[in-house]
Structure 1
Amino acid sequence: MTHPIIQQTLAEHAAAIAAIDCLSPHITEAATWIGVALREGHKLLICGNGGSAADAQHLAAELTGRFETERRAYPAIALTTDSSALTAIGNDYGFDRVFSRQVEALGQPGDLLLVISTSGNSANLVTATETAQARGVRVIGLLGRDGGALGHSVDLPLVVGVSRTARIQEAHLVILHLLCTLLEAET
């Protein structure tokens, strides 16, 4: 007999994954935005905190390497990986600016920023979004719960409307893989 915790977890997971279906048009739109930007010589900047930082790195690796199909390398940068930059910026400007400072340095009009947050309320992602938009960089938000503050400020919110952080992260990973699949289908 399956343990009740396993049954509950799998039921929550299934509900979170099922919630992705209603996001299908927005996921397709996000993939289109990313594909157009990459084809036009622009880059994708990606950031998040904690598990979302790991997701940012995962996506950057799938795009600069490959997901499932041989294709050219895509310019994608996880703003979470440079420990010297993160600690210098955090020390000199505060943690709220660790991503916005990098967006200021690297973001150009036509680039995209993907912010990943299970709560949608991370101050450093809100600040990065504001900096990006001021620089002509559109922002896609991969968010959870009700989207939080980012749900109202990003240009294209993809909100997984469940409450458990782990289930949101699981759905985010599926969405990231869907974006990769859609991008590789265009090449």
Structure 2
Amino acid sequence: MMERLADCSGAIEAAGALLIETLRQGGKILLCGNGGSAADCQHIAAELVVRYEKNRKALAAIALTTDSSILTAHSNDIGFDTVYSRQIEAIANEKDCLIAISTSGTSKNILNAVDAARLKGMAVIGLTGCEGGELSRQVTHSVIVPSDVTARIQEAHILIGHWWCGAIEGAY
């Protein structure tokens, strides 16, 4: 898999540069995903807010996957398809960047989050696998892991997240 990710290195680095620029301009990094991708969102946000490899100032990152009251109230009262787009509507602005993670690139709630981010004027990074799905066609930067195996895609996603965290920390 590592050799196959080399083919994605340009897209990974371009997305990383966008994340650095977002933070430098006072924006936040928002993340959304489902299941294992939700866990990756939390992991990456924690690396940015707390630390990755070195002590440095806290960086603005929010996993939209973590507030159980918002997630359950919205899913129960409105529906799961807009659980992330509603949060983007509430807290995001044009300086922010969304990292949207979907192994298939077809998750409806992730696509709705991308639409909401674009309406806010935000940059969006799509992190996906398989053929990229609709997600890869709707974002500012798309990183498509060259695999159809969900476990391999998820392993690559966290490696890419660490790649970005390292680049961001290098800029601070």
| TM-score under structure 1 length normalisation | 0.90
1:115 match: secondary structure: strand
Q: Is the 8 A contact 2:5 2:146 kept in 1?
A: no
Alignment partner of 1:103 out of 82, 88, 100: 88
> Percent sequence identity over matched residues?
49
1:99 match: secondary structure: helix
Shift in Å, 1:147: 0.5
Residue 87 of structure 1 is matched in structure 2 by 72
Shift in Å, 1:71: 1.2
Distance 1:167 1:154 in 2: 22
Residue 56 of structure 1 is matched in structure 2 by 41
Distance 1:115 1:18 in 2: 24
| TM-score under structure 2 length normalisation | 0.98
Larger mean CA deviation between 51-60 and 149-158 belongs to 149-158
Alignment partner of 1:130 out of 109, 115, 118: 115
Q: Is the 8 A contact 1:151 1:157 kept in 2?
A: yes
Asked whether 1:158 is paired with 2:143, we answer yes
Query: Could you report, residue by residue, the CA deviation over 1:66-123 in whole angstroms, capped at 9, with x for unpaired residues?
Result: 0001211100000000010011111222100000000100110110000111100000
Residue 6 of structure 2 is matched in structure 1 by 21
Which residues of structure 1 form unaligned runs of 5+? Answer: 1-15
Distance 1:24 1:100 in 2: 29
Distance 2:35 2:52 in 1: 23
Larger radius of gyration: 1
- Which aligned runs of 4 or more in structure 1 are off by greater than 2 angstroms? none
Shift in Å, 1:17: 2.2
Shift in Å, 1:39: 1.3
- For the aligned residues, what is the CA RMSD? 0.8
Q: Is the 8 A contact 1:20 1:175 kept in 2?
A: no
Residue 105 of structure 2 is matched in structure 1 by 120
Q: Match of 2:169, as an amino acid?
A: E
Distance 2:97 2:28 in 1: 6
Alignment partner of 2:19 out of 34, 40, 45: 34
Residue 61 of structure 2 is matched in structure 1 by 76
Distance 2:94 2:37 in 1: 25
